[in-house]
Amino acid sequence: MKIYTKQSISLLDGIDRKTGIITQKGHELEGKCIANSVLRFPKSTGSTVGVSTLLELKENSVAPKKIILGKPDSNVIAGCILAEIPIEVEGIKIKKLTERELGKIQHLPKYLQDILIKEAEISGAEGFIQIDSVQIAGVSYKTVGEGGLKAIKYLTDKGDKVKVPTTLNPSGMDLEEWKEQGISANFAEKQLEIINAFKKIGAIPTASCIPYSLGNFAPSGRHIAFGESSAVNYANSVLGCKTNRENSVKTIISALSGYTLNNGMHLSENRKPDCEIHVKCELNSFSDYGALGYYAGENSEIPYFTGISPNLWELKAISAASAAVGSVSLFFVEGMISTDENNIKKKINFGKKDLNSIYKKLNTTDKTPDLITVGCPHYDMFEINMVARLLEDRRLRIPFWIMTANLFKEQARQLGFKKIIEKAGAKLYSDTCMVVAPIEDLGFKITATNSAKAAKYLPSFCKQEVIFKPLEILIELACS
């Protein structure tokens, strides 16, 4: 059976891992089973931990018997290699690497060489390039499942150590306060098994999606291997680093080897905008900029924004949403990083009507939420300070979670922000987020957030109805 689609597929939340049925809302294949098919699609979108979906599909005997990609996609290629699903990329013939390129990695253990070489040959990469740092994706047990756990253990039980500074993406729970968070002992056992596996190879257990705020970044122009989709986007677009949307398994390979493939965003010719998005309306909040990012992810691969002057936190919102909705790993803002505008193929406007349309799309209910949660991407100290001041002398009536990195939670404790937050009735959790934590098993059915990225994933991956509003409105909602 051959299944063909011109639409990209979100591997994280677009396929049921137990049945092989496409669940992606609005997709032309929605409701269709891909088990034992020859599946052709252009590329994957959204989270880079989708590689685990392919492993789970194989584990459950519902994987395609072959995948044909429209263009190279590390997320899919690495998943197929590990799950032993035949794969090809249209227009690319398997070619042997030169002795010079093979010589770069000949000192590595054979299992690392094999995966790097296979992906390079399938994707058409010219060879390999050394990297300065790694952000490992696929840390939450909820996202990787048993298939991903097996892959992690296979790669971390060899006795090898990371060759470059390596940090971790959010896990499925607060590693210190998971009992208070309501996480089951069974889930915690699996989650800690994953964390300990990464500690074994020398990764720093930051468990945060903002590694660039925790010291894991390189100077502009240097090569890195980041797996968290919003961090990839931020590193390329704001910091000027060079990284592809590396998948969860590939980031482990890169950490242990110090290499990645020399293709995609590592090549200057691929770092040019294809679409100008001119913003014609006023954007007043993190949520507004997230809505803009969502719109960009639907309409462009490398957007060039004009008409805005976002700050660092608003750039985080654009990075997260555009990467979650599409496969954006690089964007430009007029006046920031210079670029060749001659590659722009189309120009579109983003006005008030478009902004309202995104809010309408992401708000799936007007009922009272069971949970309000912010910090996707994780809040840094500036944002924690901001929300603490907004909560001071307030009393919340609805559970309110603020997500951050463990370093910032400790600093917030020392500076008194955590006390202010908890006095209002909110919780400051680290190491996790509302999407990769099993909130659907904790009794929550309606979640409110100010994150367009979270609002995108919560319905499909967490079985939530969603309220998407700016932070100040969420706080008023929680107090009413």
- The pLDDT of 396-425, averaged and rounded, is 98
- The pLDDT of 424-439, averaged and rounded, is 98
Closest CA to 394 of 370, 413, 420: 420
**326 band by pLDDT with thresholds 50, 70 and 90:** confident
- Domain boundaries, given as residue ranges, for the chain: 2-102, 127-266, 272-361, 363-479
Is the pLDDT at 312 greater than 90? The verdict is yes
Buried b (16+ CB within 10 A) or exposed e, 202-220: ebbbbbbbbbbbbebbbee
What pLDDT is recorded for position 56? 86
**Rounded Cα–Cα distance for residues 175 and 166 (Å):** 18
* H-type alpha helices, 348-443: 352-362, 381-391, 406-415, 417-423
pLDDT cut 70: percent of the chain above it: 99
What pLDDT is recorded for position 81? 87
Q: Is 275 strand, coil or helix?
A: strand
| The two structure tokens encoding residue 416 | 């008194």
- The pLDDT of 321-325, averaged and rounded, is 95
Give the right CATH number for 2-102 from 3.40.50.800, 3.40.1110.10, 3.30.420.40, 3.50.30.10.
3.50.30.10
What pLDDT is recorded for position 73? 83
pLDDT in tens, 297-306: 999 999 999 9
- The pLDDT of 66-76, averaged and rounded, is 88
Q: Tell me, what amino acid is at 227?
A: G
What pLDDT is recorded for position 48? 67
pLDDT in tens, 119-142: 999 988 989 999 999 999 999 999
Q: Regarding beta strands 134-136 and 332-333, do their DSSP bridges make them parallel or antiparallel, or are they unpaired?
A: unpaired
Is the pLDDT at 293 greater than 70? The verdict is yes
- The pLDDT of 197-202, averaged and rounded, is 98
Is the pLDDT at 169 greater than 70? The verdict is yes
Cα angle value 256/235/363 (rounded, 5°): 115
- Across the chain, what does the average pLDDT equal? 94
Question: What CA–CA distances, in Å, run from 370 to 350, 423, 444?
Answer: 32, 19, 6
What pLDDT is recorded for position 262? 95
Cα angle value 198/171/56 (rounded, 5°): 80
What pLDDT is recorded for position 345? 86
Q: Tell me, what amino acid is at 19?
A: T
Is the pLDDT at 341 greater than 90? The verdict is no
Biggest CA-to-CA distance, the chain: 68
Is the pLDDT at 319 greater than 90? The verdict is yes
**What fold does the segment set 363-479 form as a domain?**
Aconitase; domain 3 (3.30.499)
Which CATH architecture best describes the domain 127-266? 2-Layer Sandwich (3.30)
pLDDT in tens, 20-63: 999 998 899 999 999 999 999 998 886 666 677 888 898 899 99
| The two structure tokens encoding residue 402 | 């603020």
Q: Given this chain, do its domains 127-266 and 363-479 carry the same CATH topology?
A: yes
Least confident of 106-115, 182-191, 339-348, 417-426: 339-348
Beta bridge partners of 276: 304, 347
Least confident of 37-51, 96-110, 182-196: 37-51
- Using DSSP, how many helices (H) and how many strands (E) does the chain show? 17, 20
Question: What CA–CA distances, in Å, run from 450 to 27, 106, 402, 460?
Answer: 25, 48, 11, 17
What pLDDT is recorded for position 191? 98
Instruction: Indicate the length of the chain as a whole number.
Output: 480
